Amino acid sequence: MAETSSIAITLEQKIDDLKIAIENKSDNVLRIVEDILSIIKENGIDSVPDVSIVPCVQLVLLLRWKSNEVIAVVANILAEVAKSEAGRERLATLQPPIAQQLVNLLQQKSSDLSDSGNLAVVTQVCRALGNMCYESERGQTCVLDAEGLEVLLSVLERAVLLANNTPGASTLRSVIIGFLLNLTISQDVMHQKLVALGGIGLLCQVLELDRESEDGCSTTDHAIVILGYLLDQVSSGDTILTDKVCQMLVQVLETFSSSSAEICESVLELLQTHAEDDSVKQSLAQHGLCQLLISLVEKYQPLVDDADEDTQRLFKLATDLIVIILNGDVSMTMLYGDGKGEVYLNMLKWVVADNADLQTTGILAVGNFARCDLNCIKMVESGVHKDFLLLLEKHNGHEDDARLPHALLSALRNLAIPTSNKAVILKAGALDILTPMINSCTLPVAFKLLATLRMLVDGQDQAAEELGKNSQLLKKLVEFYANDCHAGVQGEASRLLAWIIKNSRSKDVGATVIQCCALPPLVSMLCSEHAVMRNEALLALTLVSATQLPIAEKSLAESKVCARVAGLLTEHGSSMEKPMLCNTLALLGELVSSDVLAKDLAQNGVHESLTGLTTRKDISDLDELVTKLSSALKTT
């Protein structure tokens, strides 16, 4: 307490000296303000018991002093005062408004930054204004009302023209960026204005200059934060992350990859947030981001397991971003390089790495490369599918971490899309490895597993028949369909049933399907919101009914197939595409051969629905079939 009082007494003595010196226009003004600054800096503004004793009125008068040295020291004092909440409050309430005077001074002195005196003044004035805005809406409002944003950007335009070897240039840019951050951090409307005033280009120029300077870390960090705010606030239709910005961010990441984890995290978070845009993916791929991330991940991966959460988060940001970039068609093609691209070859190495995180990233990346039939064919020719199957045999989806089997199945499904690949993958033992997984995997893994099996049986009658005669598998599909916890699994279970029937075209498979109570899921598919699934159900039910109607009759009746078909015709009959209508009529043709089902169809008004089809001009060639079915139901 005594020490604080002593500081106050010393400060008050200096203030009295200053008042006299100002009145006498003494040459001692510079020495006195330097002493006041020294006292405040050495002890901190919080050590001053009452900030009101700081002679702000006199200091404001000195802002118009003839000496740049004096003005710079005075602005420095104001910057120190504004470091405390009480100091910011006092400066914001001064009349006439001190913010306006400081902004005017900033505009005046920045006209010639080649003058070292002007540069020193501008630096300290920016510090003062920036500190006034720190966590202070009142301070921000004062500066914005004084058109501080516009003036600040004009100062920044001049500051970026200064070479890095200009004394004080790097410090000035750092202070300006800090001021800009404090000024706009909670002023969302200002972000739009900042973009309109060319702020993005200026930030890029700052990043270009300060990534090359030894003390540019703080400036870069703040500039990245501001850039992130701008990208979050501007209209989604505006392209802010241009090719030039992407290139700059990649260069910044490369520069600070070994020296600042904070900057790396900020850059990666910003890129990941906005990399959904395909043009951004393409730019990042062109400027070598994936290669840079691969080198960083491989360099630091051995240390990740024992690292802190921040380092692990950085590792995940980097690996996730590689996968995101490969989601773009152009970027994927570019980095695949006809199977010889550096990124693609590195991802293949990661697939068989000892680290689960690297493996998962590699598999997801290869899965993204496998979004083109030509790529898929080349991958299978090179044996990529064998690596996937070996890994699936080891990681079958029952462990706590389902990421790896989930990624493997996603990639394997993509590989199985080209017709020529299906037989090759099946020959490698895919069914022997995949089918047992259905009994132990989690629902998210099951979703991918069912989709993969469905893709493998397409056009493969033997594989479809093998699955269709597997009672345990079919019962599990029925169980999945009855599970309301995962709509995707429900849909894939019923679709796989339909595809097994369609591709096997086997009477025995139909019998097994009926025995396993697997018809109800197919009947329910008739009400799907997706036309493709309704059509798949129609075809599967027709095939079963054509060969096994006597034993299917009871199950079909209990699952209300007639009501579902009637509803299908009522709701979609007038707009249903002709191929699907043909399948509907084909199913009706099978069902009417059963007296029980024919009576049920008649009671559900199918006769009337068929009569309504005669108004469709585009199906005149089906009139005879429609009339025949309608007559059969009418006489039932």
CB atoms within 10 A of CB 440: 12
Q: Is residue 548 part of a domain?
A: yes
Which helix (H) or strand (E) element contains residue 348? helix 342-351
Nearest to 325 by CA among 355, 291, 350, 349: 291
Q: Residue 16 sits in a domain of what CATH number?
A: 1.25.10.10
Check if the beta carbon of residue 503 is closer than 8 Å to that of residue 460: yes
pLDDT for position 239 = 60
Which helix (H) or strand (E) element contains residue 231? helix 217-233
121 and 78 in a common domain = yes
Q: Structural domain tally of the chain?
A: 3
184 and 45 in a common domain = yes
72: number of CA atoms within 13 Å, CB side? 15
What are 415's two structure tokens? 């590989």
Task: Give the confidence band of 523 by pLDDT, cuts at 50, 70, 90.
Answer: very high
629 and 590 in a common domain = yes
Q: How large is the average pLDDT for residues 209-229?
A: 83
Which helix (H) or strand (E) element contains residue 356? helix 356-369
Q: How large is the average pLDDT for residues 446-455?
A: 97
**Cis status, amide bond into 96, omega within 30 of 0:** yes
Q: What angle do CA 438, 478, 395 make, to 5 degrees?
A: 10
**What span, in angstroms and rounded, lies between the C-alpha atoms of 610 and 626?**
6
pLDDT for position 516 = 97
Above 60 in pLDDT, residue 236? no
Nearest to 275 by CA among 226, 240, 324: 324
594 and 492 in a common domain = no
The alpha carbon of residue 197 and the mean position of all alpha carbons in its chain are separated, in whole angstroms, by: 28
Q: How large is the average pLDDT for residues 208-234?
A: 82
CB atoms within 10 A of CB 382: 12
Task: Give the confidence band of 365 by pLDDT, cuts at 50, 70, 90.
Answer: very high
pLDDT for position 484 = 81
Give 125's contacts (C-beta < 8 A, 6+ positions apart). Answer: 75, 102, 105, 106, 109
302: three-class secondary structure by DSSP: helix
**What span, in angstroms and rounded, lies between the C-alpha atoms of 56 and 326?**
58
- Tell me the residue ranges of DSSP E strands in 368-499: none
547 and 579 in a common domain = no
Check if the beta carbon of residue 110 is closer than 8 Å to that of residue 172: no
**What span, in angstroms and rounded, lies between the C-alpha atoms of 116 and 114?**
6
Nearest to 592 by CA among 633, 538, 543: 633
pLDDT for position 53 = 61
Tell me the one-letter amino acid at 570. T
DSSP secondary structure string, 27-74?
A: TTHHHHHHHHHHHHHHH-GGGSS-GGGS-HHHHHHHTT-S-HHHHHHH
% of residues, the chain, pLDDT over 90: 66
Q: Is residue 225 part of a domain?
A: yes
88 and 52 in a common domain = yes
Q: Is residue 440 part of a domain?
A: no
Between 306 and 45, residue with greater pLDDT? 45
Q: Is residue 546 part of a domain?
A: yes
Between 12 and 182, residue with greater pLDDT? 182
Give 115's contacts (C-beta < 8 A, 6+ positions apart). Answer: 68
Domain final residue, candidates 503, 531, 557 = 557
Above 60 in pLDDT, residue 1? no
Nearest to 417 by CA among 377, 364, 445, 449: 377
Domain final residue, candidates 557, 577, 611 = 557
Check if the beta carbon of residue 369 is closer than 8 Å to that of residue 325: no
110 and 127 in a common domain = yes
pLDDT for position 230 = 84
What are 618's two structure tokens? 């585009």
Q: Using the structure block, give the residue that is written with the tokens 């100091």.
A: 87
**What span, in angstroms and rounded, lies between the C-alpha atoms of 491 and 575?**
24
B/e letters for 258-268, b = 16+ CB within 10 Å, e = fewer, are eebbbbbbbbb
471 and 599 in a common domain = no
Task: Give the confidence band of 306 by pLDDT, cuts at 50, 70, 90.
Answer: low
Check if the beta carbon of residue 385 is closer than 8 Å to that of residue 367: no
25 and 159 in a common domain = yes
pLDDT digits (tens, 9 = 90+) for 103-139: 999 999 999 999 999 999 999 999 999 999 999 999 9
540 and 615 in a common domain = no
**What span, in angstroms and rounded, lies between the C-alpha atoms of 164 and 265?**
26
Q: How large is the average pLDDT for residues 372-390?
A: 97
CB atoms within 10 A of CB 273: 12
pLDDT digits (tens, 9 = 90+) for 424-433: 999 999 999 9
Give 184's contacts (C-beta < 8 A, 6+ positions apart). Answer: 149, 190, 191, 194, 226, 229
**What span, in angstroms and rounded, lies between the C-alpha atoms of 482 and 307?**
44
**What span, in angstroms and rounded, lies between the C-alpha atoms of 412 and 394?**
15
Task: Give the confidence band of 630 by pLDDT, cuts at 50, 70, 90.
Answer: confident
Q: How large is the average pLDDT for residues 155-167?
A: 91
582 and 521 in a common domain = no
**What span, in angstroms and rounded, lies between the C-alpha atoms of 243 and 282?**
9
Mean pLDDT of the chain: 90
Q: Is residue 295 part of a domain?
A: no
State the first-to-last Cα distance of the chain, in angstroms, to the nearest integer.
Answer: 106
Domain range for residue 591? Answer: 560-635
pLDDT for position 2 = 47
Q: How large is the average pLDDT for residues 350-354?
A: 93
**What span, in angstroms and rounded, lies between the C-alpha atoms of 478 and 471?**
11
pLDDT for position 234 = 62
Least confident of 31-45, 49-63, 111-125, 407-421: 49-63
Alpha helices per DSSP H over 531-615: 531-558, 561-572, 578-591, 595-603, 606-612
Q: Is residue 390 part of a domain?
A: no
Domain final residue, candidates 509, 526, 557 = 557
- Max distance between CA atoms of the chain, in angstroms, equals 120
Q: Is residue 442 part of a domain?
A: no
Q: How large is the average pLDDT for residues 525-546?
A: 96
Q: Is residue 630 part of a domain?
A: yes
pLDDT digits (tens, 9 = 90+) for 4-27: 567 778 888 888 888 898 888 888
495 and 474 in a common domain = yes
Q: Using the structure block, give the residue that is written with the tokens 């691969």.
A: 294
